[in-house]
């Protein structure tokens, strides 16, 4: 579902990604771990072309992201094509980014109407089902300000799912939550994984990575230091940097 090859990204003189390779198969959950500043968010943003990469290639479901290849050269796609690609990739951030003036139901139902041209009735019906699925069937008419952080994040997940993504990217989805609210969000993500969604999850939740992850990637300084089966990497990290990091978060 996802293949990244030698991805480089710099902001001016600052080299943030120095050749990232990654593969995620359909239906798999890939957890990405690493210290702050190691380039995890930047990498996720490259996958849906929110950042333009300086070298390398990324494919999602067989499609080259952001570029067309013609005569051995890459040409950036037009905005419309980029938007079309982005539509099939759901993203959930640390901060929930819900529309504050819209109810939970409207937050979930809006984009399918605006972007996918679904009928309002059909979109609302699906939004209700999605909010029920994330355990918020009783909060359809609540505004974000009336919801806990965990509830808001679950609305954000339902909103991303409303676009029928084939890939979901999570960027530290539980890092901004009070500890007692982390579990309810991870449970929703676990269900999603069980139902076969392909996911890349940047997280410091080692338990989640071990239980749900099919693979674990440890990044530091803009490179993948090591990767493998989560329980292997966690139990027997091969690199000093991984050991040091795990010792801090475990």
CB under 8 Å to 166, separation ≥6 — which residues? 1, 60, 61, 88, 89, 198
Assess 38 for contact with ligand ADP (CB under 6 A). Answer: yes
Q: Can you spell out the DSSP letters for 160-182?
A: HHTT--SEEEEESTTTTS-HHHH
Please say whether the beta carbons of 15 and 39 come within 8 A: no
Assess 248 for contact with ligand ADP (CB under 6 A). Answer: no
The nearer residue to ligand ADP, 38 or 103, going by C-beta atoms, is: 38
The nearer residue to ligand ADP, 34 or 90, going by C-beta atoms, is: 34
Query: Minimum Å distance from CB 202 to Mg ion?
Result: 6
Cα–Cα dist 222/178, whole Å: 29
Nearest to 128 by CA among 115, 141, 113: 141
Assess 198 for contact with ligand ADP (CB under 6 A). Answer: no
| Size of residue set near ligand ADP by CB under 6 A | 11
Query: Minimum Å distance from CB 43 to Mg ion?
Result: 9
Work out what residue 158 binds among Mg ion, ligand ADP, none; the CB cut-off runs from 5 to 8 Å by kind.
none
Site for Mg ion, residues 16 to 75, rule: CB under 5 A: 40-41
Strands 29-33 and 14-24: unpaired
Assess 41 for contact with ligand ADP (CB under 6 A). Answer: yes
Contact pick of 27, 37, 137, 207 for ligand ADP (by CB under 6 A):
37
The distance between the two most distant Cα atoms of the chain, rounded to a whole number of Å, is: 55
Cα–Cα dist 113/126, whole Å: 11
Query: Minimum Å distance from CB 202 to ligand ADP?
Result: 7
Assess 40 for contact with ligand ADP (CB under 6 A). Answer: yes
Cα–Cα dist 170/45, whole Å: 10
Please say whether the beta carbons of 219 and 187 come within 8 A: no
Q: Select the span of 36-44, 80-88, 121-129, 130-138 touching ligand ADP (CB under 6 A).
A: 36-44
Assess 174 for contact with ligand ADP (CB under 6 A). Answer: no
The nearer residue to ligand ADP, 34 or 144, going by C-beta atoms, is: 34
Tallying the residues shown for the chain, one arrives at: 250
Query: Minimum Å distance from CB 132 to Mg ion?
Result: 31
Cα–Cα dist 246/204, whole Å: 9
| Interface residue list for ligand ADP (CB under 6 A) | 11, 14, 16, 34, 36-42
């Amino acid at each position: 579902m996802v293949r990244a090859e030698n991805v480089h990204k710099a902001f001016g003189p600052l080299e943030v990604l120095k050749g990232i390779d990654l593969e995620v198969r359909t239906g798999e959950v890939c957890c990405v771990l690493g210290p702050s500043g190691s380039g995890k968010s930047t990498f996720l943003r490259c996958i849906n072309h929110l950042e333009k990469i300086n070298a390398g290639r990324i494919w999602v479901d067989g499609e080259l992201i952001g570029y067309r290849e013609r005569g051995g050269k890459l040409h950036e796609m037009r905005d419309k094509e980029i938007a079309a690609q982005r539509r099939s990739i759901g993203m959930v951030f640390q901060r929930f980014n819900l529309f504050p003036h819209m109810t939970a139901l409207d937050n979930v139902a809006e984009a399918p109407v605006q972007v996918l041209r679904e009928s309002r009735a059909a979109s609302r019906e699906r939004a209700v089902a999605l909010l029920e699925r994330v355990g918020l069937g009783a909060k359809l008419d609540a505004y974000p300000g009336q919801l806990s952080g965990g509830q808001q994040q679950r609305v954000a997940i339902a909103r991303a799912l409303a676009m029928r993504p084939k890939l979901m990217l999570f960027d530290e989805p539980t890092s901004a939550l009070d500890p007692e609210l982390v579990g309810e969000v991870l449970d929703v993500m676990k269900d999603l994984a069980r139902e076969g969604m392909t996911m890349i999850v940047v997280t410091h939740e080692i338990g989640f990575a071990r239980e749900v992850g099919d693979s674990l990637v440890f990044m530091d300084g803009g490179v993948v230091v090591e990767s493998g089966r989560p329980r292997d990497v966690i139990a027997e990290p091969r690199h000093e940097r991984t050991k040091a990091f795990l010792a801090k978060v475990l």
